[in-house]
Chains A and B, each alone.
Chain A
């Protein structure tokens, strides 16, 4: 199971990558492996607000639907539209294939998230 060091993680298996004050959000390798083959991603709209702990997208695997929660507050500035036609990208590379990019509302919220080390312990 891959857990890139530079990212932040949540207990509900999302990751956050911060670049120039923006944050990319996706799901972890562990999450995609647990879900199995992703067959559909219900994406939010650009401009939507997301808030910590609340659902912003839904990922459907063959078996079931799973809510994806926002790790931090912010406003969506881009959604990964490639996932609309190729949801399986999430399985192929869950860290390359982010789901949304947001404008961070409060960078200090990142401090509440898990480090790669802590997240690895959680999923062992």
Chain B
């Protein structure tokens, strides 16, 4: 199993480690709830070095990526970040990712750890008509995410650069304690914050420095990362999106530009849009006592109408909620449905998928 550069430090901090996408990663240090609330109210720092970094460079990098990617690369300016998908021809999702534009001939793709090899092979198998090179640089980068309302104030103490100039979904090279990092104002928690990339030693140095110097900052594991992203309906590959779910069904059409030129998956998504969606991701509030989890079946009267994709007792809302893929027309807000948990049917109500609002 692979280890990130922060592994020894996680152990020193008393983290509970689990296997995730081939890496040994911290699931929690003290408690998922405590780490969750730290990010909502103060700040938390996550090791996300398992994420993949794929470089696309060459004269036709923009054209190539615009053909591969669901969002519109052509409108990006340098130092912008865009969210979107690599899609299969049938509209299913290869992966969801962030694209960082360095310049017209140089992009950095940040992809899910479990999908690095698949994404790389997918890009490799399609780039021969374009003047580009695709490089998997995942092992060269380490990454941490500094998230929460105090994130900017914390990081600002370590750099002369005015961090307020890095707006949401942009990035810059930032000198922090005399080392250079790539810093974007992005994240996976629904809070303000940064994702910070650097070489292994520099990220280890920064992770340690931030934790030593900021009492209000907690190290946070994958447990809290999942509850945080879940509450604000950020999709997780393999749950709300996967090869059999399209971005339209997942309610993510903001990252799919059907009016731009040709891209893989466009035809299928146009057809799906025209014929109308048959199902979509919704939120569920569980009215009966109990917690529903991924895979639980959802019923309307006695027929099955869908499945839960993620479910928790939400730490911020302090009630059981879920995201679920539900057939139309049962997706309407306020519809009463039943979720099957073991032998019981739990009465639930369809609500907006963004479960937590500030």
Contacts and interface: CB of A to CB of B under 8 A. Distances in A.
B interface secondary structure, majority: mixed
B32 A37 contact: yes
Given A60-B313, A62-B32, A63-B27, A39 B223 contact: no
B291 A40 contact: yes
B149 interface: no
B260 interface: no
Contacts of A58: 342
A36 interface: yes
B216 interface: no
A14 to B, nearest CB: 18
A88 to B, nearest CB: 10
Contact of B28 (A36, A42, A60, A65): A36
Given A36-B31, A37-B33, A62 B312 contact: yes
Given A60-B313, A62-B313, A62-B315, A37 B31 contact: yes
Contact of A64 (B28, B293, B320, B344): B293
Contacts of B293: 64-65
A63 B291 contact: no
Contacts of B187: none
Given A62-B33, A62-B227, A39 B28 contact: no
Nearest to B315: A62
Nearest to B312: A62
B291 A36 contact: no
A39 B291 contact: yes
Query: For chain A, which range describes its interface: under 10, 10 to 19, 20 to 34, or 35 or more residues?
Result: 10 to 19
A65 B223 CA distance: 14
B303 interface: no
Interface residues of B, number: 18
A40 B31 contact: no
Interface in B323-345: 342, 344
Interface string A50-70: 000000001010111100000
Candidate in B290, B291, B320, B342 with the most chain A CB atoms within 10 angstroms:
B291
Interface string A6-40: 00000000000000000000000000000011011
A14 B315 CA distance: 27
Given A42-B342, A58-B342, A63 B32 contact: yes
A98 B173 CA distance: 56
B256 to A, nearest CB: 32
B291 A65 contact: yes
Contacts of B342: 42, 58
Interface in B288-317: 289-291, 293, 312-313, 315
Given A58-B342, A63-B27, A39 B313 contact: yes
B223 A40 contact: no
A62 B290 CA distance: 12
Contacts of A64: 293
A63 B289 CA distance: 17
A42 B291 CA distance: 10
Nearest to B223: A63
Contacts of A36: 16, 28, 31-32, 223
Given A36-B223, A42-B290, A65-B291, 10 more contacts: A36-B32, A37-B32, A37-B33, A40-B313, A40-B320, A42-B344, A58-B342, A60-B290, A63-B27, A63-B32
Interface of A: 36-37, 39-40, 42, 58, 60, 62-65, 84
7 contacts: A36-B28, A39-B291, A42-B344, A60-B290, A60-B313, A62-B33, A63-B32
